Structure 1
Amino acid sequence: MFDWYVGLLAISGVVMLAMAAVKNGQSTGSRSMNAIFGAGFLGYAGYLAFLFDGGSYLIFFQAFLLPVMMVVNFFRNRTPRPKLTETQKAWREYQSSEQQR
């Protein structure tokens, strides 16, 4: 169980650091959050794998919700938004002018 936990922490950290390295489609805040949490996950995995010498430790499986949410946010922000045609722009301008009356 311990090895699985350390492995999942390391994988989550690497994935979040990889997402932080991609510049397209993300805000600076999102990239920095990915980098901070990715480094934290990877650092804790390294500590548990190489420096931890036994005793008790806490397993927080709820912590793995964060990488899942970050991956969903990453791919949701990368999907291209459709560009409006001239007709669609004109229709939206017409609708907004009608609502102001």
Structure 2
Amino acid sequence: MFNWYVGLLALSGVIMLALAALRQGQSNTSRTVNGIFGAVYLGYAFYLAFLFDGGSYLIFFQAFILPVVMVVNFFRNRTPQPKLTETQKAWREYQRSAGR
């Protein structure tokens, strides 16, 4: 169980750092949050894997909610807005003017 936890922490950190490196469709705040938490997750995984001597530790599976939320947010913000053709624009204008 310990090895799975460390592996998931490391994977979450790498994914969040990769999201922070991408510039497309994200605000600077979102990229900064991804970078900070990605570094924290990866650092904690490194600590647990290589520096932790044993003893008791707590596993917080709630910590994996944040990476999921950040990935969902990344893909939701990347969804392009549809570009209307001239015919579609004229049709929408007609519908607005007709009061439909």
For Structure 1 versus Structure 2, the TM-score category normalised by the shorter chain is 0.7 to 0.9
Which segments of 5 or more consecutive residues in structure 1 lack a partner in the other structure? Answer: none
Shift of 1:83: 2.7
Confirm whether residue 80 of structure 1 aligns to residue 80 of structure 2: yes
* 1:1-101 equivalence runs, <5 A: 1-85=1-85
Figure out how many residues of one structure are paired with residues of the other and give that number: 97
Shift of 1:85: 4.7
Q: Aligned AA for 1:19?
A: L
- In 2, the alpha carbon distance for the partners of 1:77 and 1:65 equals 18
Q: Residue 38 of structure 2: SS of its match in structure 1?
A: helix
Q: Deviations over 1:38-75 (max 9, x none)?
A: 00000000000010000111100000010000000011
- In 2, the alpha carbon distance for the partners of 1:27 and 1:86 equals 31
Q: Tell me which stretches of 4 or more aligned residues in structure 1 moved more than 2 Å.
A: 83-92
Query: What percent identity do the matched residue pairs reach?
Result: 77
Q: Deviations over 1:9-57 (max 9, x none)?
A: 0000000000000001100000001001000000000000010000111
- In 2, the alpha carbon distance for the partners of 1:73 and 1:34 equals 11
Q: Residue 59 of structure 1: SS of its match in structure 2?
A: coil
TM-score normalised to the size of structure 2? 0.85
- In 1, the alpha carbon distance for the partners of 2:78 and 2:37 equals 20
